[in-house]
Amino acid sequence: MINDIEHVPVLLNEAIDALSLTKDEVYVDATFGLGGYTKAILNKQNCKVLAIDRDPQAKIFANNLKKDFADRFYFKSGNFSDLGKFLKELKIYQVGGIVFDLGVSSPQLDVKERGFSFKLDGPLDMRMSCEGPTAEEFLDKVEEVTLADIIYELGDEVFSKKIAKNIIHQRSINKIKTTGQLADIVRDAIPKKKSKIDLATKTFQAIRIYLNDEIKELEQGLIAAEKALRPEGRLAVISFHSIEDRIVKNFFHECLQNKSLSRHIPELPKKKPSLEILTKKPILPSVKEINSNHRSRSAKLRIAKRTHFSSSFGEIA
């Protein structure tokens, strides 16, 4: 059952320390999940938290947390790219810090019915919001060349063409309806070799990112966060693969140098830096944390601080 799922927030202490919490301030947990970061923030300081999540099941955990922090906790169902809109609805126009914990949550991975995991055989779904086309529907219609490009670009998978070809071939024989089917098809397409990760990992990652439009969502979410931070406010972002980390790193440098590096981010006006980078290199989990929580092994935390100069992207939406 979803209420029985255990979630261990990655780099929790490091992320909370990065926010430099102060009394009566407002903070944003942009990826609420099971509420690990939100709960830690509220327990550590007498402040308020706005939490956001597009997964409708996150509301179950938000309702539980609301019982303990009724007057200090707000929850909004939706995309974190709408952060500015949610703050405006609450008549909050600047916040002291924002934390993003990117990627998939424990309920999404550990509940086979959600269709995210290649380890648990379930329906081929992968939708974070439980809305829109499923992964099954996507794979039933996508063209081979398009699929190969998605797997290569969003999964960094060098065998993308072979995988796409095998998927298209296999769907002509039998409809691909489960995560187990897809995982086996992907594994069969890749030359057998020793690998630290399951051979299906990168393809599942790519399809999930594409289906949920995670790249654009992250870039727009970072823009919204930069607008919402007060001077000296902190932005802490935990990523789990090189594509996410590269976007975060580039965004920090864009706000430092006022030079757009992304196709989704508009050309910046010539202004003074709106962010100061506090992590020259990302903070990584300790060996102890990796041993106790294997999912933390690829995590990277980057931290930036809002300067006193105006936003590079205009006023809060």
Measured CA to CA in angstroms, residue 162 lies from 157, 190, 294 at distances of: 10, 7, 30
Q: Tell me the C-alpha to C-alpha distance, in Å, between residue 85 and each of 39, 47, 93, 120.
A: 23, 21, 10, 37
Is 2-107+214-306 CATH 3.40.190.10?
no
Q: What end-to-end distance do the CA atoms of the chain give, in Å?
A: 38
Q: DSSP string of 92-159?
A: ---EEEEEEE-S--HHHHH-GGG---SSS--BS---SSS-S--HHHHHHH--HHHHHHHHHHHH--TT
The per-residue pLDDT for 310 is 87
Tens digits of per-residue pLDDT, 151-198? 999 999 999 999 999 999 999 999 999 999 999 999 999 998 767 789
Q: Across residues 67-93, what is the average pLDDT?
A: 97
Q: How far apart are CA 119 and CA 38, in angstroms?
A: 29
Q: What angle do CA 60, 109, 245 make, to 5 degrees?
A: 105
Domain segments of the chain: what residues? 2-107+214-306, 130-211
pLDDT of residue 1: 42
pLDDT at residue 257, as a whole number: 81
pLDDT at 262: 58
Indicate whether 20 pLDDT > 50.
yes
Instruction: Report the alpha-carbon distance of residue 303 to residue 238 in Å, rounded.
Output: 9
pLDDT on residue 193: 77
Residue 82 above 50 pLDDT? yes
Residues 39-54 have pLDDT tens digits of 999 999 999 999 999 9
Q: How far apart are CA 187 and CA 272, in angstroms?
A: 49
Which tens digits make up the pLDDT trace of 256-286?
Answer: 886 655 555 556 665 689 999 999 999 999 9
- pLDDT band at residue 312 using 50, 70 and 90 as cut-offs: confident
Quick check: 85 pLDDT over 50? yes
CATH of 130-211, one of 3.40.605.10, 1.10.510.10, 2.40.50.140, 1.10.150.170: 1.10.150.170
User: For residue 58, is pLDDT > 90?
Assistant: yes
Q: Tell me what pLDDT residue 195 has.
A: 77
Q: What is the pLDDT of residue 264?
A: 53
113-164 residue pLDDT tens: 898 888 889 999 999 999 999 999 999 999 999 999 999 999 999 999 999 9
- How many CB atoms neighbour CB 121 within 10 A? 15
Dihedral, CA atoms, 272, 30, 291, 244, nearest 10 degrees?
A: -50
Given this model, what pLDDT does residue 2 score? Answer: 47
Question: Is 274 within 8 Å of 306 (Cβ atoms)?
Answer: yes
**Strand ranges in 87-157 using DSSP code E only, listed in sequence order:** 95-101
More confident residue, 26 or 316: 26
pLDDT at 115: 85
Q: Which of 83, 94, 85 is nearest to 222 (CA)?
A: 83
Q: Which residues, at least 6 apart from 190, have a Cβ–Cβ distance to it below 8 Å?
A: 159, 162, 163, 199
**pLDDT tops 50 at residue 297:** yes
> Tokens for 183?
């995982």
- Amino acid residing at 63: N
Specify the length of the chain in residues: 317
User: Quick one: pLDDT at residue 7?
Assistant: 63
Q: Is the pLDDT confidence value at 23 over 60?
A: yes
User: pLDDT tens digits, residue range 204-259?
Assistant: 999 999 999 999 999 999 999 999 999 999 999 999 999 999 999 999 999 988 66
Residue with the bigger pLDDT between 31 and 315: it is 31
